[in-house]
Structure formats: C-alpha cells, structure tokens
C-alpha cells in the first residue's frame, strides 16, 4: 500500500510517503509555511518517491490537536487531493503521531498550543485521559496519583518543570518517528477510512485566542 500523508499540526508542515510500511520520501519545513509552501512540499515528496498520484492508494492527514492555521490548511489540502485523486482519507490524531513507534507503557503525550497552553493525553493500558488548557490545569485533569515512572513525549521545558515540581519521575522522549507526516503515513494502513472525506474534521484542542476587533 502506498500512503501519502500530510501534517500541519505539530510545529511544522510535513509531507511523507510510505510504501508497504516503509517511508520512501519525506519533506518538512518549520514555521508558518503551510499556505505558501505546503503544496510544494507535497509535490516534492511525491517526486522523491517516484510515484504518481494514480499509484497512491490512500491519503492520511494529521487532524490535531495542534496549531490552528497549519492544521486547517493541511486538512483542506488533504481533502482536496482525496477528492481529485478519488482516494480514501484517513485521520490520525497528533497524540498517536507523537507516540508512534515507541513502547512507553504509562505515557503522557503533549502538544504545544499558545504560550503556556497545551493539549495532553495520558494513557496507561485501557485508561485514557485528555485535556487542553494551561499547563498545571491540564496536569491536574489528566494525571492520576501514581509512583510509577511516567514516559513523556513531546513536552517542552515548562511541562517537564511542572512535572518535576510534583515529584513525578519522568522519562522524556522525542517522537520516535519524524517528521510528523511520516508517523501519520505509517499509522494509516491499520485504520479504516471514514465513508466520506467530509467526516474528517480538525481537533484544535482549544479554540484559538480571540482578538478584539480594531476600533
């Protein structure tokens, strides 16, 4: 199976292609480049893979949580390509992308939002908790009492500092698979696409900060 994946949620815009479970091409650029460079990155990854659109069996998209603008634009690109190429479109959330390829046990995956704001998912066996908001508020909501070491993926320094202040033993990890689109591409074959691309929606974690109109 050939999968083309796009992600604009996790701090960069990335595109990757997986063929039979192996990444054969990936491109990424950091910053607010989704609108100006997003399609060029997709085209570049496709050229690097030496595959044509007709050889793509499935599209995959990172649906967040994550940055509002990059996420919104990436989903628009993915839906447009899926419609034109008549390919199924598979959503993969940011927490699964961050954790993909790792063996963590008790784990906290963290997505950075606005300054001082995060979305986080705690997972331990069948127990799953998630929340979005200020760092300490989120940690209060998702972390149950435990003395077991906690694996943390994707957390910035302020989150690690907050965990240390709580006396939690932490093992900090970077994502095992990068860029994010590569993890999305590898995760997608095991998932069932929704019947319609219109069922794929963004998960922003929280609404973007409101800005008062100028007088």
**Domains of the chain with CATH codes:** 2-94+176-199 (3.30.420.40), 102-173 (3.30.420)
What is the predicted pLDDT for the residue at 17?
A: 98
Length of the chain: 215
What is the predicted pLDDT for the residue at 207?
A: 52
Work out the pLDDT band at 123, boundaries 50, 70, 90: very high
What is the predicted pLDDT for the residue at 214?
A: 53
Q: What is the pLDDT of residues 39-88, one digit of tens each?
A: 999 999 999 999 999 999 999 999 999 988 899 999 999 999 999 999 99
What is the average per-residue pLDDT within 166-171?
A: 95
What would the two tokens of residue 28 be? 């990424």
Helix axes 68-85, 34-49, angle to 10 degrees: 50
* Helix or strand run (H / E) with residue 36: helix 34-49
What would the two tokens of residue 143 be? 């972390």
Q: What is the pLDDT of residues 124-144, one digit of tens each?
A: 999 999 999 999 999 999 999
In this structure, what DSSP letter does residue 178 have? -
What is the predicted pLDDT for the residue at 178?
A: 97
176 burial type by CB count under 10 A (0-12 exposed, 13-18 middle, 19+ buried): middle
**Tokens 């929340």, residue located:** 131
Rounded to the nearest integer, the mean pLDDT of the chain is 93
Q: What is the pLDDT of residues 3-17, one digit of tens each?
A: 999 999 998 999 999
- Compute φ and ψ for 81, nearest 5 degrees: -65, -40
CB-CB contact of 49 with 17 (8 Å): yes
């Amino acid at each position: 199976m050939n999968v083309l994946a796009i992600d604009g949620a996790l701090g960069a815009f990335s595109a990757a292609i997986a063929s039979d479970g192996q990444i054969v091409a990936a491109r990424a650029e950091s910053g607010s480049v989704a609108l100006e460079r997003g399609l060029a990155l997709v085209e570049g990854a496709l050229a690097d893979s030496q595959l044509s659109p007709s050889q793509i069996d499935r599209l995959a998209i990172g649906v967040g949580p994550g940055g509002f603008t990059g996420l919104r634009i990436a989903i628009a690109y993915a839906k447009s390509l899926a419609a034109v190429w008549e390919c199924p479109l598979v959503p993969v959330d940011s927490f699964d992308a961050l954790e993909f390829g790792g063996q963590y046990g008790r784990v906290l995956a963290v997505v950075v939002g606005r300054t001082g704001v995060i979305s986080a998912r705690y997972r331990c066996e069948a127990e799953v908790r998630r929340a979005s908001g200020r760092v300490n508020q989120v940690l209060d909501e998702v972390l149950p009492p435990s003395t077991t070491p906690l694996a943390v993926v994707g957390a910035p320094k302020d989150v690690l500092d907050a965990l240390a202040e709580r006396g939690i033993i932490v093992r900090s990890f970077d994502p095992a698979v990068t860029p994010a689109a590569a993890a999305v591409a590898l995760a997608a074959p095991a998932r069932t696409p929704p019947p319609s691309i219109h069922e794929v929606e963004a998960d922003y974690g929280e609404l973007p900060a409101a800005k008062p109109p100028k007088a």
